[in-house]
């Protein structure tokens, strides 16, 4: 029996675009001819998969259809949620779809993950299908590269040659705690879930009876048109917003893990996005887009809709001007050195891998007071992104007008 892929496509870009009233959803951001949603669609174009279901909401329907057409996927269903209720209701409602057979394996895929080695992923998936039963649920895990507070973790133990049973979930710990979890052989929780339809239904009915009944009624009372299922607003509104992890996985008995030994990222930070884009950038492009200043240089790596990704390099004992911008905010992540940063009346030092957000209109400055070079990944965020949008107040190089 083929695997039914359900792509969860209701998330937004609030982490990447803080304090924006209107922000592009991460899965639809154009990173140079490709989006994360399109990459997810490419992953399921394999003979082991049945036609996909895309779980989303009305505001993303047009973007979903454009991507499906671009990737030449003609057979599909779209489930539209009337409200954003997180992954718990989304997964349960999708599993109740009558187009999925009761014993059919379902793969729930977040639409905003970067997982380039799709053939290896599908091979791992296929090798684990025989481990499914009517009660268990599998979650894919990633071996952490570094301690990070951006991801959830889990601990598991081997119960036989094929099965690793999850014994504990840890939701986005501090970096100090994350380091301890990694020492205990903990893994990142990817959010990719595999289970039979019957298992999702049985666990939801047992552990979240009220939620299950509301999802069932919202599905039974739904309207269908043009391959689109619109869940019933009355019953869906009764659901509380809760993740599938909290609602089901942390309460169920038979939760197992599948380790993915391959590159993965949810591109949840500008540093991760920069890393991917930089890996695809040629030396000739970098040379052409390097601009020198008295304090060092900046390199423009990619301009997308409402954002510009740059890398700043500050020489020893140097400083950018004390300045502000009328039209953009900025997000900085330190990748080398120990810069002194001023925002408004506050000054502080930042270490490698630490980040700081500079709201639009805030007076700010970066200073490199040491001998080691400072490097910063800068994401400029706004509707106008021009070098002319700099108002200088103090400058060591005489550039204040």
The pLDDT tens digits for 39-63 are: 999 999 999 999 999 999 999 999 9
Per the structure, the count of domains in the chain is: 2
Does 293 share its domain with 250?
Answer: no
Please give the pLDDT value at position 8. Answer: 97
**Domain of residue 325, CATH code:** 2.60.120.10
pLDDT tens for 294-305 read: 999 999 999 999
Is there a single domain that holds both residue 85 and residue 216?
yes
Compute the distance between CA of residue 169 and CA of residue 177 in angstroms, rounded to an integer: 13
Is 401 among the domain residues? Answer: no
Final residue belonging to a domain, choices 217, 252, 268: 268
Report which secondary-structure segment, H or E, holds 93. helix 87-95
CA distance 394 to 322: 5
Work out the average pLDDT over 136-143. 95
10 Å CB burial of residue 84 (0-12, 13-18, 19+) is middle
Q: Please tell me whether residues 20 and 96 are part of one structural domain.
A: yes
Q: How confident is the model at residue 285 (pLDDT cuts 50, 70, 90)?
A: very high
Is 400 part of a structural domain of the chain?
no
The pLDDT confidence band at residue 132, using thresholds 50, 70 and 90, is very high
Boundary residue ending a domain (238, 268, 298): 268
Stretch 113-119: mean pLDDT: 91
- 293 shares a domain with 184: no
Q: Could you read off the pLDDT of 223-254 as tens digits, one per residue?
A: 998 899 999 999 999 999 999 999 999 999 99
Task: Give the angle subtended at the CA of 387 by the CAs of 386 and 391, to the nearest 5°.
Answer: 110
Residue 145 has a pLDDT of 84
> What does 25-70 look like in DSSP terms, one character per residue?
-GGG--SSS--HHHHHHHHT-STTB---EEEEEGGGHHHHHHHHHH
Q: How confident is the model at residue 163 (pLDDT cuts 50, 70, 90)?
A: confident
- Residue-wise pLDDT tens digits, 10-28: 877 778 888 777 777 899 9
- pLDDT above 90 for 219: yes
Which stretch of 62-66, 155-159, 376-380 has the lowest confidence by average pLDDT? 155-159
Residues 108 and 16 occupy one common structural domain: yes
pLDDT of 282? 95
Is a pLDDT exceeding 80 seen at residue 81? Answer: yes
Residue 182: how many other CB atoms lie within 10 Å: 18
Residue-wise pLDDT for 252-272, tens only, equals: 999 999 999 888 888 888 999
For the chain, give the percent of residues with pLDDT over 90: 85
- Out of 28-32, 151-155, 187-191, 217-221, the most confident range is 217-221
Quick one: 201 and 258 in the same domain? yes
Q: Looking at the predicted structure, is the pLDDT value of residue 172 above 90? A: no
213/318 same-domain check = no
Question: Region 73-92: what's the mean pLDDT?
Answer: 96
Q: Are strands 223-225 and 228-230 parallel, antiparallel or unpaired?
A: antiparallel
Q: Are 59 and 10 in contact (CB under 8 A)?
A: no
116: Cβ contacts below 8 Å, ≥ 6 apart:
39, 263
Same domain, yes or no: 186 and 293? no
Question: Which pLDDT score, from 0 to 100, does residue 175 have?
Answer: 84
287, 361 contact by CB (below 8 A): no
User: For the sheet containing 355-358, what is the strand order?
Assistant: 290-293, 296-304, 307-314, 374-382, 328-336, 355-358
Nearest CA to 108 out of 214, 177, 204 is that of: 204
Domain-terminating residue out of 233, 268, 303: 268
Q: How far apart are CA 205 and CA 160, in angstroms?
A: 28
Is the domain of 130 the same as that of 28?
A: yes
Please check the confidence at residue 76 and state whether its pLDDT lies above 80: yes
Residue 392 pLDDT: 96
Q: What is the mean pLDDT of residues 168-177?
A: 89
Q: What confidence score (pLDDT) does residue 148 get? A: 84
CATH of residue 103 = 3.90.550.10
């Amino acid at each position: 029996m083929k695997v039914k892929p359900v792509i969860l496509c209701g998330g937004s870009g609030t982490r990447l675009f803080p304090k924006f009233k209107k922000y592009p959803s991460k899965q639809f951001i154009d990173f140079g001819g490709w989006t994360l949603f399109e990459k997810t669609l490419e992953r399921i174009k394999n003979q082991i998969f049945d036609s996909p279901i895309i779980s989303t909401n009305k505001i993303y329907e047009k973007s979903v259809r454009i991507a499906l057409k671009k990737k030449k996927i003609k057979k599909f269903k779209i489930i539209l949620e009337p409200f954003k209720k997180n992954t718990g209701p989304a997964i349960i409602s999708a599993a109740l779809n009558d187009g999925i057979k009761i014993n059919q394996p379902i793969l729930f895929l977040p639409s905003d993950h970067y997982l380039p080695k799709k053939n290896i992923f599908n091979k791992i998936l296929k090798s684990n299908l025989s481990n499914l039963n009517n009660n268990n649920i599998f979650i894919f895990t990633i071996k952490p590269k570094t301690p990070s507070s951006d991801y959830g973790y889990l601990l598991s133990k081997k119960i036989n040659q094929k099965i690793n049973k999850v014994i504990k979930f840890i939701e986005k710990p501090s970096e100090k705690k994350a380091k301890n979890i990694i020492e205990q052989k903990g893994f990142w929780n990817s959010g990719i879930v595999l289970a039979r339809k019957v298992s999702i239904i049985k666990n939801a009915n047992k552990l979240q009876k009220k939620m299950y009944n509301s999802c069932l009624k919202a599905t039974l009372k739904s309207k269908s048109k043009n391959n689109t299922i619109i869940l019933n607003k009355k019953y869906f509104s009764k659901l509380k917003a809760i993740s599938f992890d909290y609602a089901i996985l942390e309460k169920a008995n038979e939760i197992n893990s599948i380790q993915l030994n391959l590159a993965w990222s949810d591109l949840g930070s500008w540093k991760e996005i920069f890393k991917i884009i930089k890996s695809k950038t040629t030396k000739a492009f970098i040379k052409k887009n390097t601009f020198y200043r008295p304090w060092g240089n900046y390199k423009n790596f990619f301009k997308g809709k409402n954002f510009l990704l740059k890398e700043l390099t500050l020489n020893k004992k140097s400083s950018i001007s004390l300045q502000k911008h009328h039209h953009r905010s900025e997000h900085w992540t330190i990748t080398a050195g120990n810069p002194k940063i001023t925002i408004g009346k506050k000054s502080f030092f930042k270490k490698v891998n630490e980040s700081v957000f500079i709201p639009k209109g805030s007076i700010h400055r970066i200073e490199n007071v040491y001998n080691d070079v400072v490097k910063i990944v800068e994401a400029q965020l706004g509707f106008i992104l021009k070098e002319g949008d700099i108002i200088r107040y103090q400058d060591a190089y005489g550039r204040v007008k």
